[in-house]
Amino acid sequence: MSIFLGYGFSLGLVGSGAGLAIGLLFVRYINQIAAGLEWLTGRPVFDPTVYYFREIPTIIESHTIIGVMAGAVLIAVLASVLPARHAALLHPVEALRYE
């Protein structure tokens, strides 16, 4: 059971770490991405007459990031509990008999 729970925990850490890196890069370069999309499509992505700002404001709060990452890891561990319980109840010889 601990193998499955450890695997769920490590998968949650890797997934939330990769999501954090990609998300922070996206937030850092959101205005450049919007400018590139405007150049590509020829239309403003965030029309200033509708949204009332020239650049997309970005605010990064560390406690929010930590909370989201902790939640993602917790969800990954909780999702691995059912398979871990199922595997723990199986007898190893019976589980491998038809493999």
- What pTM, to 2 d.p., does this model score? 0.73
Average pLDDT over residues 49-64: 86
> How long is the chain?
99
**Residues 5-55: pLDDT tens digits?**
888 899 999 999 999 999 999 999 999 999 999 999 998 888 878 878 888
3-state helix, strand, coil split of the chain in percent (to 5) is: 75, 0, 25
Domain boundaries, the chain: 2-96
